[in-house]
């Protein structure tokens, strides 16, 4: 159900980890893309600028440096470019940062999401809004014999970040019913890989191990995450984009690897990829963290054929190779 059109696809967060990868994949299949990003300093803006530099010379890509919470500019951008498909990935990420700077989440995640929806609902012939949610909406629930399912309750967030992501899902539910345009929310489970975010554990661990510094292992290592390689995530995002729900429907789907890995196993795998052993300092669980994540991706698989291909050892080797190329061995 691939739909290649003359009108461009809008990708918010195009200077971010996932948005950068999605934009490149869309361009590779012949789409036109307009990227939007404010390029803030939540983490090193130089990395974001380096991602943007990879689009240089690609005529089918245009970039707008603006704040998605600026509703008038977003509406004008969508209207003036006849946008009918949007992949909305811009947001203030990070659980721990939400404890320090909560109002950044109010603007980027709540006002930003509302601004994007308003722009979409005024667009003539609008077809599909795909937006980023998060596995954090499930709260700190124990892993049973199966992964977290989309129809399970998601009413007990343990961080403001999680609360804003759940709020975005509910806002989309109301807008889909009120204004009739199709929406898909994707609950991402721990995304990793080349060009990733420095605030993520695997990335910061790599920095510290190569510098000879100790790493802090939270939850005393008794945590697990459903690590999902960036290429697999992009497969799922574009698959969802190509299969919009019915008009008036807001569909929520998990997107993950469906194979949770313990934190200590991840560190051991990363040590092998880097070729160095880490000095570990064990710490208690941080406020806002969850013990484990585990995606049931059967709905996304049934819809698109989504099936993650890259296992953690291969993915971390690819990341380590990229890291050395980008930063050097001691960065």
Show which residues are catalytic.
161
Q: Which of 271, 201, 242, 190 is nearest to 29 (CA)?
A: 242
Burial (CB count <10 Å: 0-12, 13-18, 19+), residue 249: middle
DSSP code per residue over 64-79: EE--TT-HHHHHHHHH
**Could you give phi then psi for residue 82, rounded to 5 degrees?**
55, 40
Strand partners, 86: 10, 129
**Could you give phi then psi for residue 278, rounded to 5 degrees?**
-90, 145
Give the count of beta carbons closer than 10 Å to the beta carbon of residue 1. Answer: 9
**CB 263, CB 293: distance < 8 Å:** no
């Amino acid at each position: 159900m691939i739909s290649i059109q003359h009108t461009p696809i809008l990708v918010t967060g195009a200077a971010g980890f996932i948005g950068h990868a999605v934009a490149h994949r869309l361009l590779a299949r012949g789409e036109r893309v307009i990227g939007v990003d404010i390029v803030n300093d939540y983490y090193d803006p130089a990395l974001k600028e380096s991602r943007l530099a990879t689009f240089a010379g690609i005529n089918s890509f245009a970039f707008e440096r603006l704040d998605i919470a600026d509703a008038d500019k977003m509406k004008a951008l969508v209207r003036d470019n006849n946008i009918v498909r949007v992949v909305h990935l811009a947001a203030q990420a990070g659980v721990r940062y939400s404890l320090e700077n909560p109002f950044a989440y109010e603007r980027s995640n709540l006002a930003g999401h509302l601004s994007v929806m308003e722009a979409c609902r005024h667009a003539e012939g609008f077809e599909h809004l795909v937006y980023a949610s998060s596995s954090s909406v499930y709260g700190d629930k124990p892993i049973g014999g199966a992964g977290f399912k989309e129809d399970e309750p998601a009413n007990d967030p343990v961080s403001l970040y999680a609360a804003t992501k759940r709020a975005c899902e509910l806002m989309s539910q109301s807008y889909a019913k009120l204004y009739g345009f199709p929406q898909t929310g994707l609950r991402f489970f721990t995304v990793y890989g080349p060009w990733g975010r420095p605030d993520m554990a695997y990335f910061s661990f790599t920095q510290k191990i190569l510098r000879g510094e100790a790493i802090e292992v939270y939850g005393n290592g008794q945590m697990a995450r459903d690590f999902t390689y960036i290429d697999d995530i992009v497969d799922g995002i574009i698959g969802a984009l190509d299969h919009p729900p019915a008009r008036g429907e807001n569909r929520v789907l998990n997107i993950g690897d469906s194979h949770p890995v313990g934190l200590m196993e991840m560190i051991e795998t990363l040590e092998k990829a880097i070729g160095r052993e880490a000095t570990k300092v064990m710490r208690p669980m941080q406020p806002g963290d969850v013990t484990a994540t585990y995606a049931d991706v059967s709905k996304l698989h049934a819809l698109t054929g989504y099936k993650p291909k890259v296992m953690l050892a291969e993915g971390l080797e690819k990341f380590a190779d990229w890291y050395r190329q980008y930063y050097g061995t001691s960065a």
